[in-house]
Amino acid sequence: MTAAASLIACDWGTTNLRAWALDDAGRILTARVFPFGVGRLKAGEAPRRFREDVLPALGGARTPALLCGMIGSTLGWTAAPYVELPAGLDDLAAQLATVDDTDGLVRIVPGVCAPGFNGQGDVMRGEETQLFGWLAGAPDRAVGRRLVCHPGTHAKWMQVEDGRLTGFVTAMTGELFALLRQHGVLRTSTPPDDPVAFDEGVAAAGRGDALAARLFTARSRVVGLGRPAATTASYLSGLLVGADVAATPRLLGETSGATVALLGDPRLCGLYARALELQGVDSEIFDGEAAAVAGLSALHRARSLR
C-alpha cells in the first residue's frame, strides 16, 4: 500500500515547476516537473495550474502544500515578504505566507533581502530554501563559517555563520552569458563544449576586474590570433565563470580561499568547480534539487512545531 503524502513541496521558478509529494519523514513519494514556470504564466493563472495540474499529478487535493521560488514574487501567486539578514530557518518558518482561498493549505516561503555589498540592496527567492535544506543535511554544516555558491542565471554567493545566512551577493553570470551569445559581436550558436577553451577563459578572467575589457578578448582571440570561432562560447563561459569566482567572494569579505560548497545543478556546479580549481580553491558539489526537498520539509516541520 502506498503511503499517503503529508506535504506537497514545490520549487516554482521562472522557467519550470518541480513538485514532490513527501511522506512524514520527508521522503519523496512522487516527483513531477511541469513546464509552466512563473515566467510562462499569465496573470492569475497560478492557482488554476496548481489546482488542475499539480494536485492531480501528486494526489494531494487536501494535503498541505509549501512552495518556494519566484512563485512568491509579485509575478507569482501571492507576494511573500522578504526576511532581513541575518536569517535562520526559524525566521523563514515564522513568515510563511498563507495563500488566500486555499483553506490555509498552501503557504509560500518568503524571500531574503540584504543591504547589498554597495548599499543598493540584494534579494533572493528559492536559493534560501536550498541553503537551509543543505544545512539540515549534516550537523557540522551549521557550525562555523561557510561560503556557499548557487550557480545559475543569477548566481548567489552566500555567507553562512553558525547556521544563519549573514550575507549574500547576486552575480548575473548566467544571464550575461545568454545575452552575449545571442546578441552583439560575440553571438554564436555553437554550444560551449570545449574544455580547453573554457580553461583559457578562466585564465583570461584574472582577478575578475575590468570585465568589459576582458570580454572583448572573446572576439580579438578569433579575429586577431586565429582561434577557432567555434570555441568562442566555451571561452566566454570560462571568462564569465572565472571572473565570478575570482571577484564576487571578495565583495563578501571572503579572501581566505576556504572550500566553497557548490549547491545547485550538477553541470553548472561542475563548471564552477573547475574554475575554482584553476584558481587554487577547493570546492564540493551538492545537488540542489535534493536540498530544495530537504529545505521545504524542514520548513514544514518547523512551522508545525510553532
Radius of gyration (C-alpha) of the chain in whole angstroms: 20
Q: Which residues of 270-304 are buried (b: 16+ CB within 10 A; e: fewer)?
A: ebbbbbbebbebebebbbbbebbbbbbbbbbebbe
Given a cut of 50, is residue 136 above it in pLDDT?
Answer: yes
Q: What is the pLDDT of residue 67?
A: 97
Mean pLDDT of 175-200: 95
The single-letter DSSP state of residue 65 is E
Q: Is the pLDDT score of 2 beyond 80?
A: no
For residue 82, CA distances in Å to 35, 91, 190, 203, 223 come to 26, 10, 40, 38, 48
pLDDT in the model for residue 114 = 96
Helix (H, G, I), strand (E, B) or coil at 214: helix
Q: Give percent of the chain above pLDDT 90.
A: 87
Cβ count within 10 A of residue 3: 12
User: Where do you find CATH 3.30.420.300 in the chain?
Assistant: 7-141+289-304
Mean pLDDT over residues 136-148, rounded?
95
Domain with CATH 3.30.420.310 in the chain: 171-287
DSSP notation for 223-259: HTT---GGGHHHHHHHHHHHHHHHHHHHHTT--S-PP
CATH code: domain 171-287 is: 3.30.420.310
Strand bridging mode 17-22 / 7-12: antiparallel
Range with lowest mean pLDDT among 2-16, 124-138, 191-205, 240-254 = 2-16
Mean pLDDT throughout 128-155? 96
Calculate what percentage of the chain has a pLDDT beyond 70: 98
Task: Give the pLDDT score at 1.
Answer: 37
3-state helix, strand, coil in the chain (%, to 5): 40, 25, 35
CATH homologous superfamily, domain 7-141+289-304: 2-keto-3-deoxy-galactonokinase, substrate binding domain (3.30.420.300)
The answer to whether 247 and 253 are in contact (CB under 8 A) is no
Mean pLDDT along residues 35-60: 90
Crossing angle of helices 232-251/195-205, nearest 10°?
40
Residue 96: what pLDDT?
96
Q: Give the mean pLDDT of the chain.
A: 94
pTM flag (> 0.85): yes
Q: What confidence score (pLDDT) does residue 145 get?
A: 95
* Lowest-confidence segment of 29-43, 146-160, 262-276 by average pLDDT: 29-43
Partnered with residue 261 across adjacent β-strands are 148, 284
Q: 85-121: per-residue pLDDT in tens? A: 999 999 999 999 999 888 889 999 999 999 999 999 9
Question: What DSSP character marks residue 208?
Answer: S
Does pLDDT of 305 surpass 70?
no
Using one digit for the tens of pLDDT, what is the confidence trace for 225-283? Answer: 999 999 999 999 999 999 999 999 999 999 888 899 999 999 999 999 999 999 999 99
Average pLDDT over residues 187-212: 96
Q: What is the pLDDT of residue 104?
A: 85
